[in-house]
Amino acid sequence: MITFSSLSLREELTQAISDLGFETPTPIQQKVIPQLLSDPIDIIGLAQTGTGKTAAYGLPLLHHVDIAVKHVQCLVLSPTRELCMQIQEEMSKYGANMRGLRITAVYGGMPIAAQIRELRSNPQVVVATPGRLIDLLERKAISLADVEYVVLDEADEMLNMGFREDIDLILKNTPAREHTWLFSATMSNEVRGIAKRFMKDWKEFSVATANTTNENIDHQYYVAQHSNRFETLRRLLDFTPGIYGIIFTRTRQDCQDISEKLMKQGYHVSPLHGDMDQKMRTKVMERFKSKQLQCIVATDVAARGIDVNDITHVINYELPDDPEVYTHRSGRTARAGKSGICMSIVSPKQISNVRQIERLVKQKFHKSDIPDGAEVVRKRLFFYMEQIALAQPKADFAKLYRDSIHEQFADVDKDELIRKLIWLQLKDTIDIYQDSEDLNAGYDNKEKGGSRGNRSARLFINLGEKDGLTTQKLLQFITESADINANVIERVTVRDLSSFFNVPGDMAEQVMEQLAAKKFKGRKVRLEEAEQSKGGSSSGGGGGDYRGGSRPKPSSGPRYSGDVRAYGKRAGAGSGGGGYKGKRK
């Protein structure tokens, strides 16, 4: 296997990569870097954001650049201001040990005078949006006369955004250009057109076909009536306390309305859409990147170029019309080798759209149940307990207040104290979910996984997230252990300690028998048939997490109303010590 050290990059780059913690080159890097180092011919790289494409061209660019020469040698064109900034940031990290290297980014939406001043510092590498670059060329603030390397990043996006003429003009103004590297997620005729006009015998490198399938994404969908969409969103957010995500809406108005409603209810979110000026958008991105925001609510256009690696969830408030847009949205998660979840809220009528997208992304979507109130409360209780277990109070904090704390609680029993603390944390949620309704829109018989004579059976299994399971891993375990095809397994719900799934009724016994004979990571597997509520839309036989003993009956009200009476501010969902804190770099 190719390693970074075997690539014979210049020492400063190898060192920087190692400092960044990159261990192995990503597939596109493995293909492109050796070629561009040994023979930097013209190339087309078909790769989406998140595949490591910036390093795939950035490292060879920096390898070839002559730091001693103080004029623009490398030009990277990119469609958006956000992407420009990210490329500059990323390449600056790679070039951190190259003394004298200057990388300048120029893009619209910011005062041009400051950028003109920056260009006077003689950068060797310029990253630009086409529009702003032309503006600078017209003002004679930049010369492309000595540019040898040109990279067209996200060429398809640039063309979609109407930059074709600008790109033509820029490329015509690079007389010394010897190497043109084009990167694009898709290979359209227009992209090929640019290659034909401006590139010599190029080689193509592709990490997958267009519409890359990212196996690390768990695609889930939740069926709710249109009128319950917002409630469903809220419930999914509450059920995912450590979320760090993007909620996609179709329109700017929805984007604004939904984020306002969520903010009013105490969620740490912000809108991001085209009606906001550049300054506001930058501010939102800064708050999101520094994790002051738990989610951003975005339109597709505004979300373009958001480059954040550790997004845990993408939520489609509504499915996009165009299945390809779905791929772009879901691709915001599960980046750089991580895994992620893409949740879509769909109305019963939109299930056919789900099927269409399934075909496009070549992955099965998992129908999941919208959790009921009790499950939300339980999930947040477990989350909170974990937060307490993981908390590392400052050493001097205890010292400073120890006496007062002891004095105050000297007579309070430990159990009582825990109850009180958890009450404070969970009280709001318990109030909210006291009489919460079932939001799952009814399934028709077909969706239940069987014809009239073969109703599906809901099975409980004693394995959950704590065992390292995800929906996909559970499906894999089931299909590898029992004679059943993943296509007939429905409504997989993975909980902390246990999970539920549906199989056609006539297969239930056999599946239970075959699985019960297996062990998972050394643990004995136990299965039971779960009760299904009327209408088949309950969230999984009570959704209880239990390791042993008898199966709890499905509950309708909050299960913790007696013991853990309530819980703290909802803001705890993402703020304060929110669960994603640990994931922070």
CA distance 180 to 200: 8
Q: Per-residue contact track with ligand AMP, 61 to 90, x per CB under 6 A?
A: -----------------------------x
Q: How far is the CB of 297 from ligand AMP (least distance, A)?
A: 22
> Is the CB of residue 364 less than 8 Å from the CB of residue 478?
no
Closer by beta carbon to ligand AMP, 46 or else 370: 46
30 binds ligand AMP (CB under 6 A): no
DSSP assigned state of 542: G
Question: Which listed residue (13, 25, 132, 505) binds ligand AMP by CB under 6 A?
Answer: 25
206 binds ligand AMP (CB under 6 A): no
- Helices then strands, counting H and E runs in the chain, come out as 20, 20
387 binds ligand AMP (CB under 6 A): no
Q: Per-residue contact track with ligand AMP, 308 to 347, x per CB under 6 A?
A: -x-------------------------xx-----------
Tokens of 217: 């994404």
Task: List, in sequence order, every residue forming a beta bridge with 247; answer none if it has no partner.
Answer: 297, 315
* Alpha helices, DSSP H, located in 95-240: 112-119, 130-138, 155-160, 164-172, 189-198, 229-239
Question: Which listed residue (9, 12, 33, 52) binds ligand AMP by CB under 6 A?
Answer: 52
Q: How far is the CB of 293 from ligand AMP (least distance, A)?
A: 19
60 binds ligand AMP (CB under 6 A): no
CA distance 118 to 88: 13
The interface region with ligand AMP, picked from 53-61, 103-111, 123-131, 564-572 by CB under 6 A, is 53-61
Q: How far is the CB of 340 from ligand AMP (least distance, A)?
A: 13
Task: List, in sequence order, every residue forming a beta bridge with 344; answer none if it has no partner.
Answer: 221, 316
Measured between its terminal Cα atoms, the distance across the chain in Å is 27
Question: Which listed residue (7, 36, 55, 374) binds ligand AMP by CB under 6 A?
Answer: 55
26 binds ligand AMP (CB under 6 A): yes
CA distance 345 to 351: 10
Q: Which amino acid is at 337?
A: G
Closer by beta carbon to ligand AMP, 29 or else 214: 29
Question: Which listed residue (42, 154, 156, 307) binds ligand AMP by CB under 6 A?
Answer: 307
User: Among residues 48, 36, 75, which one has the least CA distance to residue 202?
Assistant: 36
> Is the CB of residue 499 less than 8 Å from the CB of residue 474?
yes
Q: Per-residue contact track with ligand AMP, 89 to 128, x per CB under 6 A?
A: -x--------------------------------------
Q: Which of residues 485-544 bind ligand AMP (CB under 6 A)?
A: none
Name the strand (E) or helix (H) holding 517. none
Closer by beta carbon to ligand AMP, 10 or else 252: 10
Task: Find all residues with CB under 8 Å of 93, minimum gap 6, and list them.
Answer: 16, 20
Q: How far is the CB of 376 from ligand AMP (least distance, A)?
A: 33
Quote the crossing angle between the two packed helices 323-330 and 351-361, to the nearest 10°: 70
User: Which residues make up the interface to ligand AMP (CB under 6 A)?
Assistant: 22, 25-26, 29, 49-55, 90, 307, 309, 335-336
